[in-house]
Structure 1
Amino acid sequence: MRSSKQAGSAATEGRLRSRPSQPTEAGIPGLHPLKLDVKRDGFLYVPKGYRPERPAPLVLMLHGAGGDAEGALNIVRSLADPYETILLAVDSRRQTWDVIMGQYGPDIAFMDRALAQTFSRYAIDPSRLAVAGFSDGASYALSVGVTNGDLFTHVVAFSPGFMSPAAQVGKPQLFISHGQRDEVLRIDRCSRRIVPVMQRAGYEVVYEEFDGPHTVPGPIAQKALEWFREASPTES
């Protein structure tokens, strides 16, 4: 068993230690609060078609600055049942994610707890495990996904601003989208710079620009879920 000191060290390095395993509890479909924190918590949505004998894909959803887990979940919640995908959404400990405020730490630790709880109750397909987010959550998803490419097979970034991985581990596949009329995180300074950097680094990137502002249009969210469910699994 890991000591709290070891867990704390992993968190400051941006590393997630939880991994999918054989569930030890019986999880049920539906929307569930995580109940891991009184004020800043999160939700798990399990599709109606979930069966423990058939491991399901999972997407960890991250909200934008000033947002919350419910808002992040709502971006893709309507797609969970038709795509038979479990959605886990967590609140940041503060207004936005830790590395954006300074360095990795408390958000990674909470995310690890949320993942560990989910893995203990539900059968998760390790070849279909994504981290996704919007705005600051997209920047954080890229950062955490690249740092933990031995856990996440896919990363979805809706309108990211930047990325700050602590390391490059594995090679998760990337889906990045951005509105051409984004006034919050301008496309020229953000995704149009991020995408070529990641391609040069050897990452497989699907990039979607759309005629719109700082948002996630329904068709873009659906395209991202289709890509996640249909893209060839990353080789470990």
Structure 2
Amino acid sequence: MTASRAADGRLDARPSAAPAGPPPEPGVTALDLGPGAEVLLAVPPGEVVALLVFFHGAGGSAADALRAVAEPAAARGVAVLAPTSAAATWDLIAGGLGRDVAVLDAALADVLARLPVGRVALAGFSDGGSYALSLGVANGDLAEAVTAFSPGFVAAPGRYGRPRFWISHGTDDRVLPVERCGRRVAASLTADGYEVGYHEFAGGHVVTPDLVDDALRWWLDG
């Protein structure tokens, strides 16, 4: 991936009908992508039907992402790819797209060369939700869907493809208030002509197992 592609938020990796590499073992493994790149892959036992990329919230990690979604995803046969941001939050928010996009693209290239899946979605919580939305708009030719839990905004450098969007937000969110964040983001994407499922719940700035189940069901069964 070139620096200009990373700065545009574009991902080059694509699924393969016939992956060449040995399939990843079930369980959680750390990808070897070089110094400073931390990416975890959680593979469920049995048939893997799809790949979910999940971005943690500010100050979080790949391990936090897996704790939030790996178990419900495994129950649906979904592998989870979870990168850790190079800075305290994602590059889009911490100065501009670049390193995190490049690491993600390398991780996707590695996994998609070994995992026979045709369905890919992006997801995230809080800052990670904003990142998933923004990269989803910029990479709708890769990600068929985006699920964002308590996001703050969407700021895509470009638009490619027509992914579907699912957004949840707590009505008592004190970190990213629902009126200026979840509602505004959902309205903006809808006005741009995207299919948007928007769900408000009585609660704060959280991602819960039932919300993850709802998002997975919306994506896989919709």
Contact 1:49/1:81 (8 A) holds in 2: no
Q: Which residue of 2 aligns with 1:23?
A: 19
Q: Which residue of 2 is the match for residue 189 of structure 1?
A: 180
Counterpart position of 2:143: 152
C-alpha distance in 2 between matches for 1:179 and 1:206 = 15
| Equivalent residue in structure 2 for 1:84, among 77, 86, 89 | 77
Does structure 2 conserve the Cα–Cα contact (< 8 Å) formed by 1:142 and 1:157? Answer: yes
What are the equivalent positions in structure 2 for 1:210-229 lying under 5 Å apart? 210-229=201-220
- Is contact 2:37–2:103 with CA below 8 Å preserved after alignment? no
1:210 counterpart letter in structure 2: F
Q: 1:38 Cα deviation (Å)?
A: 4.3
Residues 174-230 of structure 1: per-residue CA shift (max 9 Å, x gap)? 000001100000001101111111111110011110100100122111100111110
How far apart, in 2, do the equivalents of 1:180 and 1:81 lie?
29
Tell me the CA shift for residue 121 of structure 1. 1.2
Q: Deviations over 1:133-155 (max 9, x none)?
A: 00000000000000011110000
Kindly provide the amino acid, as one letter, of the partner of residue 64 in structure 2.
Answer: G
Where do residues 158-197 of structure 1 align in structure 2 (5 Å cutoff)?
158-197=149-188
- Per-residue deviation, residues 16-64 of structure 1 (Å, max 9, x unmatched): 001111211112222111122444402101110136xxxx211000001
Q: Secondary structure at the match of 2:41?
A: strand
SS in 1 for 2:193: coil
For the 8 Å contact 1:146–1:168, the answer to whether it is kept is yes
Count the aligned residue pairs.
220
Letter in 2 for 1:34: L
**TM-score when normalising by structure 1:** 0.90
TM-score (norm: length of structure 2): 0.96
Contact 2:132/2:146, CA 8 A, preserved across alignment: yes
List runs of 5+ in structure 2 lacking aligned partners.
none
1:234 corresponds to: none
RMSD between aligned residues:
1.2
- Equivalent AA in structure 1 for residue 143 of structure 2: F
**Paired residue for 2:98, among 105, 108, 121?**
105
Asked if the contact 1:42/1:70 (under 8 Å) is kept, the reply is no
Gaps of 5+ in 1: 1-5, 232-236
